[in-house]
Homo-oligomer: A and B are copies of this chain.
Amino acid sequence: MALIVQKYGGTSVGSIERIRSVAERVAKFRALGHQVVVVVSAMAGETNRLIELARQIQKDPDPRELDVLLATGEQVSIALLAMALKDLGLKAKSYTGPQVRILTDAAHTKARILAIDEERLRRDLEAGCVVVVAGFQGVTEDGDITTLGRGGSDTTGVALAAALKADECQIYTDVDGVYTTDPRIVPEARRLKTITFEEMLEMASLGSKVLQIRSVEFAGKYRVRLRVLSSFEDEGEGTLITFEEDAMERPLISGIAFNRDEAKLTVIGVPDRPGIAAHILGPIAEANIDVDMIVQNVGHDGTTDFSFTVHRNEYRKALGLLERIRGEIGARAIEGDERIAKVSIVGVGMRTHAGIASKMFRALAEENINIQMISTSEIKISVVVDDKYMELAVRALHQAFELDKEPAVPATA
């Protein structure tokens, strides 16, 4: 008998029929003798409907009141799911975030969980109850309702699993696991049976949006066994997210992430002296523009070129800012390019293996894809290329690293 936390997103509870099928899956786990805590999001579309209502009243809705409003979305879901469970003859009880007492800070619309009072839930579980908890919401020390921000239901699930010391936290979504890359681009893409937390973090932040980053960090911190599964399939074991130390031999590369969300800016011919990077990026930061990749190469003739990427939505704003400070920083010219793509290979194995980068660059060269920027971390290598080559680059890398093949099972020591 295990204690399992299951989290279902908005699509999984998006209609009466789907709520019923969630209840049926929970019933199967109960029939196997497991204790089950279910965390649910608002029904698909509901949160947007509520935000639209709020915007009709206030252009920039008051954050405290927006949280009061949005919290109703999950409250509807928990009540309906508890009813569906009872309709199947199970014992069930719903709880809002404030009712559990999921204590958060007071940062309305993006609050962080501080503590969870799990005593009442544990009593219900021991009495044979399925406990249904509203995701995405909590309460401050003062009793104000808070929300954790978009995707926060994943975080609720992981935090509850940590507080209850659950055997597993299962995140049900509309994909059946984490893939080596997007199957729409590479049909041979393969579902990973396991992926490490660190790889998952890199994959998520790079655009494979299966899980919310914060929930993955949370799971890593509290050592929660996390599994991503499809809510539309009854079979399948999904992808288990593991701790690196659990994994034995790891494949070199786990997956390939990519996005077209960014734009590139280059400041050409700035004096190559200390403080120049801060001088360029200071005004960008003040304008609240997030910078992703930053590349500065060694200079020559006393000047250097400085490149960075921003989200495409902020490209025009960033370009305008740089034009304005060009004289001040003594740059020769400002260049920009919106038509770029970022492609990254991710894998903890690369830490202990040389030659990964050169293999990546060779695969791209063989397809005549020019690399515009390179940035590396311990477990990933990212390149910026012309965006028309993105799909080609992803396919070439998928093949070069043989990601379509199941990695050989290492011999047990």
| A residues adjacent to B (C-beta < 8 A) | 16, 19-20, 50, 53-54, 56-58, 61-62, 64-66, 68-69, 71-72, 75-76, 78-80, 82-84, 86-87, 93-94, 96, 98-99, 120, 143-145
Contact = CB atoms under 8 A, between A and B. Distances in A.
Contacts of A87: 57-58
B58 A79 contact: no
Contact of A79 (B56, B68, B94): B68
A43 to B, nearest CB: 9
In the complex, the count of this chain's copies comes to 2
A143 B143 CA distance: 13
Given A76-B50, A99-B143, A143-B99, A57 B84 contact: yes
A61 B82 CA distance: 10
Name the 6 nearest CB pairs between A and B, nearest first. Answer: A69-B79, A72-B72, A68-B79, A58-B83, A57-B83, A65-B82
A58 B76 contact: no
Contact of A54 (B80, B96, B143): B80
B76 A75 contact: no
Contacts of A69: 75-76, 79-80
Given A54-B80, A80-B57, A99-B145, A86 B72 contact: no
A51 to B, nearest CB: 11
Given A58-B86, A64-B93, A53 B80 contact: yes
A290 B50 CA distance: 41
Contacts of A58: 83-84, 86-87
Contact of A53 (B50, B76, B94, B98): B76
A53 B86 contact: no
Given A65-B79, A79-B68, A57 B96 contact: no
A79 B68 CA distance: 6
5 contacts: A53-B80, A57-B83, A65-B86, A68-B94, A98-B99
Contacts of A80: 53-54, 57, 65, 69
A219 B345 CA distance: 71
B68 A82 contact: yes
A19 B57 contact: yes
A16 to B, nearest CB: 5
A218 B315 CA distance: 63
Of A57, A79, A98, A145, most B-chain CB atoms within 10 Å? A79
Contacts of A94: 64-65, 68
Contacts of A99: 98, 143-145
A79 B54 contact: yes
A208 B136 CA distance: 45
Contacts of A144: 99
B75 A54 contact: no
Contacts of A57: 16, 19-20, 80, 83-84, 87
A83 B65 contact: yes
Contacts of A120: 143
A62 B75 contact: no
A87 B94 CA distance: 34
A120 B143 CA distance: 11
Nearest to A16: B56
A76 B83 CA distance: 22
A96 B68 contact: yes
Contacts of A65: 79-80, 82-83, 86, 94
A53 B64 CA distance: 28
A94 B67 CA distance: 11
Nearest to A15: B56
